[in-house]
């Protein structure tokens, strides 16, 4: 051991504005105490948060550009195949001389860090790696001591149509936080006590916010549903459990400096329906003039026209019927997403929508890059501009507004755009549940899948137990978290790590 220990607690999918609201109400006393004695930073993850790989950025300490990976979804241009892939990059912890122990750090491949101890994929919302542990029987040992992870069926549960299921999920996620706190404390205090750096990641806020955001957002179109009260109370319950975890771990290791952080904030989901359903259908109609989506008839709608699922309906099952799977294409682990089921048509289309979680992603079917490309290089920019104009022409049928907030492209030669990139990225305005195009007609509306998403603003870092002056220190990059940990441990920041230590910013 180095003599100075650091405890890093990462909060996955945590929204700071909720915490601040509930701190003011007295719900989160441990967060208040830690905040008041910390050097505090707001963290800006920028557009890199739309990669959906925030925890790969933590695990590796590197940006998407450094990793050459802009999404977990990989497109094979030769076969038009798709796969969501785990990380293949080594964790920054492999380069440290100090002893490190992790508790469920996503995207951390233990096989690439032979001296690292701990476990992965234990209830993580997006683990990015298969379950693994060192010692090898650690998963089984934790199961014997603390039982199975209490919220397995709710990690990706979407149940806004049911108040009863919402209450059940909230209780399970809060229990999961309590179990995580007990397991982490045991692992760091008893099973592997000889550590310099302990990293504990808490993922339950991510699962809770994506399913329950409509309970805390009065402007959300589903805030008037019976499940909203249960969702709001459920989020408070999960945040209170996280507060207790922060206090318990801090008290258990009073000799350790504490870095509590979240890479970015959360908010309303604006991308699921538009990116997973509508964009693929729009480009199919633009290419062939005919629909592929079989528009369902919804049993009920809100007064504003938002379609609702019945309590016994499931979004994925309904959309599997609406967007059929063609038997002629090889299976993919993304076939649950409607956008992936259009790929039988992609070789004949000038442009098509890749499956996306946080935005809209368009790939140009470019000759010389895609295996059966139909767009010559000389037409690439024109086709890209035509697609951008096509999407900008669409209006939201329920609100009458444009569905586009921003459109981006990589700014590099088309042949340099890699298999995890798109030629166009669309950030949606509001939460489009349908599209109206003046020539191609109306698509949707389609019900919400998740009510919460990755649209929040700042992440944050609280740094306590160091020489850093207490108080607010402004805005830093989310990529500054890893070099800060390395510096606190008294080690040299590797040239492979992005960002710079927070304390090097001069206050």
Q: What are the beta bridge partners of residue 202?
A: 11
Tokens of 34: 């830690």
pLDDT, tens only, 473-500: 999 999 999 999 999 999 988 778 999 9
Question: How far apart are alpha carbons 74 and 213 in whole angstroms?
Answer: 29
Parallel/antiparallel/unpaired status of strands 351-354 and 300-301: unpaired
pLDDT, tens only, 274-322: 999 999 999 999 999 999 999 999 999 999 999 999 998 999 999 999 9
Q: Please give the angle made by the CA atoms of 189, 190 and 193, to the nearest 5 degrees.
A: 60
Question: How far apart are alpha carbons 206 and 203 in whole angstroms?
Answer: 6
Q: Tokens 């970015």 — which residue?
A: 264
Percent of the chain with pLDDT over 90: 95
pLDDT, tens only, 91-116: 999 999 999 999 999 999 999 999 99
Question: How far apart are alpha carbons 59 and 501 in whole angstroms?
Answer: 16
Sheet architecture: strand order including 39-44: 132-134, 117-120, 100-103, 197-202, 5-11, 256-262, 459-464, 39-44, 471-477
Tokens of 399: 């609100």
pLDDT by residue for the chain (507 residues), tens only, comes to: 445 799 999 999 999 999 999 999 999 999 999 999 999 999 999 999 999 999 999 999 999 999 999 999 999 999 999 999 999 999 999 999 999 999 999 999 999 999 999 999 999 999 999 999 999 999 999 999 999 999 999 999 899 999 999 999 999 999 999 999 999 999 999 999 999 999 999 999 999 999 999 999 999 999 999 999 999 999 999 999 999 999 999 999 999 999 999 999 999 999 999 999 999 999 999 999 999 999 999 999 999 999 999 998 999 999 999 998 887 788 999 999 999 999 999 999 999 999 999 999 999 999 999 999 999 999 999 999 999 999 999 999 999 999 999 999 999 999 999 999 999 999 999 999 999 999 999 999 999 999 999 999 999 999 999 988 999 999 999 999 999 999 999 998 877 899 999 987 654
Question: How far apart are alpha carbons 402 and 477 in whole angstroms?
Answer: 31
CB neighbour list of residue 417: distance below 8 Å, 6 or more residues apart: 369, 410, 423
Where in the chain are the domains? Answer: 5-268+454-505, 272-449
Tokens of 212: 């329950």
- Exposed/middle/buried for 26, CB within 10 Å: 0-12, 13-18, 19+? exposed
Residues 406, 374: contact at Cβ < 8 Å?
Answer: no
Architecture of 5-268+454-505 per CATH? 3-Layer(aba) Sandwich (3.40)
Helix/strand/coil (H/E/C) assignment for every residue in 167-226: HHHHHHHHHHHHHHHHHHHHHHHHHCCCCCEEEEEECHHHHHHHHHHHHCCCCCCCCCCC
């Amino acid at each position: 051991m180095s003599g100075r220990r650091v405890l890093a607690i990462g909060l996955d999918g945590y929204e700071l504005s909720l915490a601040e609201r509930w701190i003011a109400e007295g719900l989160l006393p441990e967060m208040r105490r830690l905040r008041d004695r910390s050097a505090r930073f707001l963290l800006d993850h920028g557009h890199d948060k739309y990669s959906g790989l925030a925890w790969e950025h933590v695990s590796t300490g590197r940006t998407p550009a450094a990793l050459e990976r802009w999404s977990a979804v990989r497109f094979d241009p030769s076969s038009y195949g798709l796969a969501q892939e785990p990380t293949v990059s080594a964790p920054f912890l492999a380069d440290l001389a100090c002893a490190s122990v992790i508790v469920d750090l996503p995207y951390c491949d233990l096989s690439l860090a032979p001296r690292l101890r701990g476990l992965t994929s234990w209830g993580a919302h997006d683990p990015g790696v298969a379950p693994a542990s060192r010692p090898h029987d650690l998963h089984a040992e934790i199961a014997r001591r603390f039982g199975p992870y209490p919220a397995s069926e709710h990690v990706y549960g979407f149940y806004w149509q049911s108040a009863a299921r919402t209450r059940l999920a909230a209780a399970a996620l809060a229990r999961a936080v309590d179990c995580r706190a007990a397991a982490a404390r045991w692992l760091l205090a008893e099973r592997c006590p000889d550590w310099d750096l302990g990293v504990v990641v808490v993922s339950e806020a991510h699962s809770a916010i994506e399913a329950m955001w409509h309970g805390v957002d009065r402007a959300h179109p589903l805030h008037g549903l019976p499940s909203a009260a249960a969702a709001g109370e459920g989020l408070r319950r999960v945040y209170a459990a996280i507060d207790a975890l922060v206090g318990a771990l801090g008290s258990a290791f009073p000799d350790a400096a504490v870095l509590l952080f979240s890479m970015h904030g959360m908010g309303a989901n604006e991308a699921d329906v538009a990116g997973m359903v509508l964009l693929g259908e729009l480009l199919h109609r633009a290419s062939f003039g005919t629909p592929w989506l079989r528009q369902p008839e919804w049993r009920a709608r809100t007064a504003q026209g938002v379609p609702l699922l019945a309590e016994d309906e499931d979004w994925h099952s309904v959309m599997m019927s609406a967007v059929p799977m063609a038997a002629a294409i090889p299976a993919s682990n993304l076939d649950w997403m409607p956008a992936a089921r259009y790929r039988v048509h992609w070789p004949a289309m000038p442009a098509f929508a890749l499956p996306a979680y946080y935005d809209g992603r368009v790939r140009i079917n470019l000759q010389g890059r895609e295996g059966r490309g139909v767009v010559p290089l000389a037409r690439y920019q024109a086709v890209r501009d035509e697609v951008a104009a096509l999407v900008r022409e669409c209006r939201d049928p329920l609100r009458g507004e444009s569905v586009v907030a921003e459109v981006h492209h990589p700014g590099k030669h088309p042949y340099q755009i890699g298999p995890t990139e798109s030629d166009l990225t669309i950030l949606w305005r509001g939460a489009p549940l349908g599209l109206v195009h003046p020539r191609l007609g109306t698509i949707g509306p389609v019900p919400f899948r998740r009510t919460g998403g990755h649209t929040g603003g700042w992440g944050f870092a609280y740094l306590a137990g160091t020489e850093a002056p207490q108080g607010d220190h402004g805005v830093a990059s989310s990529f500054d978290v890893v070099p800060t940990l390395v510096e606190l441990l008294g080690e040299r920041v590797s040239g492979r790590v992005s960002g710079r230590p927070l304390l090097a910013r001069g206050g």
